[in-house]
């Protein structure tokens, strides 16, 4: 085990991808001389040269489209979009080209493209740069959507995505870049088809992904001191969603809270809730509950931003309400 930051783990994965396959190149805004907006490609221009580390104009539709074309031509492009809100400028290329070309060509063409972008709030960058739109992309057939929350996933998912024949979108929560963690020195690639139970428990399932994973783990630690053992499931792959791991956890604990930094209305948490209701309704001792961001553009002032986002305290209040003695749904310890 080696302690590294999330940023260093991403950089390690990108470097290994570039070293592993000569067809791989990185392109995006400020990825070259500047070293990346979040320093994930620092030093790469000197190491790999301008043919493989390509700075692009401020035109997301153009350079995402160029990445799609390069993938169709046999290359293995990694496209970096600075923040998730800017990806909306490339949504036509993503939805109507990257995600559909295999289907529309009857399987003749594949698009082995990786698109990385920073997502999430909590950094006081105001309403235009604090979106959590992973759930929007998880709605699109034809692509894989990943949300690495640990340093091991931050490195390994890049390498696994490099082997995928179809587009893979990696959403890196910007709040995590400076987070330190223990990097697993085992096999570098990780399974990009399965969720992971990060903390086992027996009383309630906390289902989440990305930056909210650490809030759920912190809440679970505090709940354990109160006699409530929460199981924390890191969804980490939003498309294809690992329904089996979700349902297995809920059938064990009989309660579920879904934590999602997206807005509540139309949130990915709503999709997870619906799948639980479809597959495990008769195993539930309480309604599935969601903890999401408030229905407002994310504020700039720190105290208002904190109030708008899911928090450890909000998770604790929600779990206590479900599990408290006297709750007509609560049957803790009866099974």
Query: Measured between alpha carbons, how far is 34 from 227 in angstroms, rounded to an integer?
Result: 50
Nearest to 245 by CA among 255, 232, 226: 232
Using alpha carbons, list the distances in angstroms from residue 217 to 60, 206, 318.
Answer: 35, 9, 15
CA 39-159-35 angle, to 5 degrees, is 15
Q: For strand 76-83 and strand 230-234, is the pairing parallel, antiparallel, or unpaired?
A: unpaired
Query: Measured between alpha carbons, how far is 75 from 64 in angstroms, rounded to an integer?
Result: 14
Nearest to 80 by CA among 63, 94, 92, 95: 63
- The reply to whether 60 belongs to the active site is yes
Q: Is 167 helix (H, G, I), strand (E, B) or coil?
A: coil
Select which of 8, 60, 80, 305 is catalytic.
60
Question: Tokens 């408290």 belong to which residue?
Answer: 324
- The reply to whether 254 belongs to the active site is no
- Specify the length of the chain in residues: 335
Nearest to 15 by CA among 6, 24, 27: 24
Select which of 16, 129, 261, 305 is catalytic.
129
Q: For strand 196-199 and strand 230-234, is the pairing parallel, antiparallel, or unpaired?
A: antiparallel
- What residues are annotated to the active site? 60, 129
């Amino acid at each position: 085990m080696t302690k590294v930051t999330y940023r260093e783990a991403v950089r390690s994965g990108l470097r290994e991808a570039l070293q592993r396959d000569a067809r791989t190149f990185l392109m995006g805004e400020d990825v070259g001389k500047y070293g990346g907006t979040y320093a994930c490609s620092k030093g790469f221009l000197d190491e790999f040269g301008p043919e493989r580390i390509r700075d692009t104009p401020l035109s997301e539709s153009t350079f995402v489209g160029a990445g799609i074309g390069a993938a169709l031509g046999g290359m293995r492009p990694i496209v970096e979009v600075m923040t998730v809100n800017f990806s909306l400028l490339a949504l036509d290329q993503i939805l109507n080209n990257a995600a559909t070309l295999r289907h529309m060509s009857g399987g003749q063409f594949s698009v082995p493209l990786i698109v990385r972008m920073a997502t999430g709030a909590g950094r006081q960058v105001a309403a235009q740069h604090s979106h959590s739109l992973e759930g929007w992309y998880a709605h699109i057939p034809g692509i894989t959507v990943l949300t690495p929350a640990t340093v091991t996933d931050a490195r390994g998912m890049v390498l696994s995505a490099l082997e995928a024949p179809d587009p893979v979108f990696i959403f890196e929560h910007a709040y995590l870049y400076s987070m330190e963690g223990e990097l697993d020195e085992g096999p570098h690639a990780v399974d990009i088809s399965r969720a992971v139970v990060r903390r086992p428990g027996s009383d309630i399932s906390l289902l989440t992904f990305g930056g909210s994973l650490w809030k759920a783990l912190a809440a679970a630690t505090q709940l354990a001191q109160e006699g409530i053992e929460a199981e924390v499931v890191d969804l980490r792959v939003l498309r294809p969603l690992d329904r089996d791991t979700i349902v297995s956890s809920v059938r064990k604990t009989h309660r579920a809270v879904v934590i999602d930094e997206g807005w509540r209305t139309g949130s990915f948490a709503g999709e997870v809730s619906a799948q639980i209701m479809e597959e495990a309704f008769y195993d539930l001792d309480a309604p599935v509950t969601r903890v999401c961001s408030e229905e407002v553009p994310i504020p700039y002032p720190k105290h208002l931003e904190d109030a708008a986002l899911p928090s450890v305290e909000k998770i604790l209040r929600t779990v206590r309400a479900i599990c408290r003695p006297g709750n007509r749904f609560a049957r803790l310890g009866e099974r």
